[in-house]
Chain A
Amino acid sequence: MPPELAVKPNVWVENLAGTFPGRQFIRQTLAVTECEVRKVLHEPLEPILQSLQPVLWMVIFGPVFSRVSDIPTGGIRYADFIAPGILAQSVLFLSVVYGVMILWERDLGILHKFLVSPAARMALVLGKALSAGVRVAPQIVVVYVLSLLLSIHLRWNPLAILGVIVAVVMAAAFFSALSLVAACLAKTRERFMGINRMMTLPFFFASNAIFPLAMMPGWLRIFSRMNPLSYLVDALRTLMLPSWHSEFGLLLDFGVLAIGLAVLLAILSRLYPQLVY
């Protein structure tokens, strides 16, 4: 027989009684993401420091490889061809290390605090995944500004740019969720960094980010078709380059990222609370 309720429930619980549960879920998700927005606002230099890699790739790698005449880019300049690929690369590289954050938060005790709150576990992990999107989004500006400077022809249609933002945030959420799952399984920072190194480069090179699929040997093309990054790159090329024709179709591109994200979040919401055991 449970003991009688000796204390009156706190006032906020009563306030919650009549509200639509979905609204609380969205509010909790955004509260977790808000942490990240506020951190970026406190350290506005960070996105600039993180832009070094895309700058090097677009300024050095692009022009040099443009001189290789037989890369089948479908009739567009190689420098144009890789601009969306470099943005996708930024998304991948920044998101895939994001998992280490929760290992830090676990070691400090911040994670405990989140898990003791009544927030839905799914809201907590979705909020975390979207936080990676917040981290990565400034790189869109970096790539667009560089493209202007390097006179790369981009589509400036606002709807297309909105599509790029959605694709980048979804893909950042997908790859960070993957990274968070890896962190939950690895449990220590050292092991996570090992797994991380094993994940990053295969994702990058076995994709269409810097080489067209047509150039790859058959077996690699199969891997590349299974690689979610290829779908991000295809979506970005379609939305960013005026004369690019989507290889997979935008619907499939976004579908792969959305379904992949949903599956990873379902796994993550089970694994995440186990980090504090």
Chain B
Amino acid sequence: MFFGLLMSLDLTNSILQPVHPRAEARVAAADVTIELRGLSKRFGTAVAVDRLDLQVTTGSVFGLLGPNGAGKTTTVKMLTTLLPPTSGTAHVAGFDIERQPVDVRRSIGYVPQFISADGALTGYENLLVFAKLYGIPRAQCRPRAEEMLRYVGLADQGNMRVQKYSGGMIRRLEVALALLHQPPVLFLDEPTVGLDPRARQSVWAQILRLREELGMTVLMTTHHMEEADALCDQIAIMHRGRIVVAGSPDALKQGIAPDASLDDVFLHYTGDVMETEEPGDYKDAARARSKAQRLG
């Protein structure tokens, strides 16, 4: 069954098949933290994101899936105010991304796809500088930076320069940077690209902890189905700038076959791309590989 039409998330899915124990409670509250309405981005004649409608429930982990070049990163860039949309609107934490960009920025943490911590500075210095940029009061900058280092398990490496960190340590520092100002919403763009399985597991554990302990709303992009299955309450699969299907991972799997995996779901909805064209471009591939190399 192919949903050619755009879909908003059907919340009844998660009532029938709660993926996480707290899912029912969240649905009862039915608060929406991220809402997209007809959000679109064109680059010249190319349509990167095509009239997205989407709602992300407060306190849930939402996964945006899709092959390279599907428009996931472009969507996240618009939601984080890095990129103005061509048309449509979106609200993040109650603020309009175009009319209230500074309020949106105060409300979100963002871990970009590529390395965002400065390698020439120590972990502590990275945190300190961003504490100041976020307007954290002077007296609280240092304790807050130290608290974040402890939170992500880097207390002993705080005075080491980031260029000496391993890939997993850099990712943990970046999560600390994103959480520094206690945002209610977190955006993670391909959080585990280039990480070895153990580092990936520790990033996963951390994301789950954010939801359980802080009740944060997390929107992440990924093309690892295993990752989406392990972390996300709700997912949407993007293909050529549109959402082709959305729902809870279990509901989507059930929709394909009784014993289907998310891989099957993914291929079912985006399969044609594999044979006919190569998604993503040279720059994407080069960046992903050089990042993988850097993170070792």
Residues on A close to B: CB < 8 A? 2-13, 15-16, 19, 24, 27-28, 30-32, 34-35, 38-39, 42-43, 107-110, 112-119, 273, 276-277
Q: From DSSP, what is the main secondary structure of chain A's interface residues?
A: helix
Is B232 part of the contact surface with A, judged by Cβ < 8 Å? Answer: no
Is B211 part of the contact surface with A, judged by Cβ < 8 Å? Answer: no
Assuming the contacts A2-B91, A7-B217, A39-B121, asked whether A118 and B134 have C-beta atoms less than 8 A apart, the reply is yes
Distance of A32 Cα from B80 Cα, bound (Å): 20
Assuming the contacts A2-B96, A109-B112, A116-B82, asked whether A7 and B33 have C-beta atoms less than 8 A apart, the reply is yes
A-B contact pairs, 11 of them (CB 8 A): A2-B35, A6-B94, A9-B184, A10-B107, A32-B129, A32-B133, A38-B121, A42-B121, A109-B116, A113-B117, A117-B134
Q: Which of A9, A34, A114 contacts B106 (CB 8 A)?
A: A9
The stretch that binds A, out of B175-183, B219-227, B261-269, is B175-183
Distance of A110 Cα from B174 Cα, bound (Å): 11
Distance of A43 Cα from B96 Cα, bound (Å): 43
Distance of A24 Cα from B134 Cα, bound (Å): 9
Assuming the contacts A35-B121, A116-B81, A118-B134, asked whether A7 and B185 have C-beta atoms less than 8 A apart, the reply is yes
Structural contact, B184 and A107, CB atoms closer than 8 A: no
| Interface positions of B from 179 to 229, Cβ below 8 Å from A | 181-185, 217
Interface residues on B, range: 35 or more
Structural contact, A113 and B77, CB atoms closer than 8 A: no
Structural contact, A39 and B120, CB atoms closer than 8 A: yes
Assuming the contacts A3-B32, A12-B182, A42-B161, asked whether A31 and B132 have C-beta atoms less than 8 A apart, the reply is yes
Which of chain A's residues has its CB closest to B119's CB? A108
Structural contact, B93 and A5, CB atoms closer than 8 A: yes
Structural contact, B58 and A108, CB atoms closer than 8 A: no
Is B137 part of the contact surface with A, judged by Cβ < 8 Å? Answer: yes
- A2 CB → nearest B CB, Å: 5
Assuming the contacts A2-B94, A276-B77, asked whether A15 and B181 have C-beta atoms less than 8 A apart, the reply is no
Question: Can you list the 8 inter-chain pairs with the closest CB atoms, starting with the nearest?
Answer: A109-B114, A5-B94, A6-B31, A7-B184, A31-B132, A113-B116, A109-B112, A118-B105
